[in-house]
Amino acid sequence: MTLVERFSACQPDTIDYRFTVTDPATFTRPWTASIPMRKIKGPNLEYGCHEGNYALPKRPQRRSR
């Protein structure tokens, strides 16, 4: 399996995260996904780094749309 990741600044507050998976043993052809990542206010913490760290201040929950 081959995974190619690309990060592109498409707007001042948006990064386009795009990855392509190539695995002839599993898929008939390569496939690509694209996820826009928008800048947020406040600290940007990786989930795995602060998971269960109760010393961090609570962040407000996102409201459902």
* Cα–Cα distance list, 57 to 29, 41, 54 (Å): 45, 15, 8
- Tell me the whole-structure pTM to 2 decimals: 0.62
What is the distance between the alpha carbons of residues 51 and 19, in angstroms, rounded to a whole number? 25
Q: How confident is the model at residue 26 (pLDDT cuts 50, 70, 90)?
A: very high
Report the share of the chain in percent with pLDDT over 90.
58
Kindly tell me if the per-residue pLDDT of 53 is higher than 80: no
Q: If you search the block for the tokens 């690509």, which residue do you land on?
A: 32
Nearest to 6 by CA among 15, 39, 17, 38: 17
Which stretches of 1-65 are assigned E, i.e. beta strand?
2-11, 14-22, 31-38
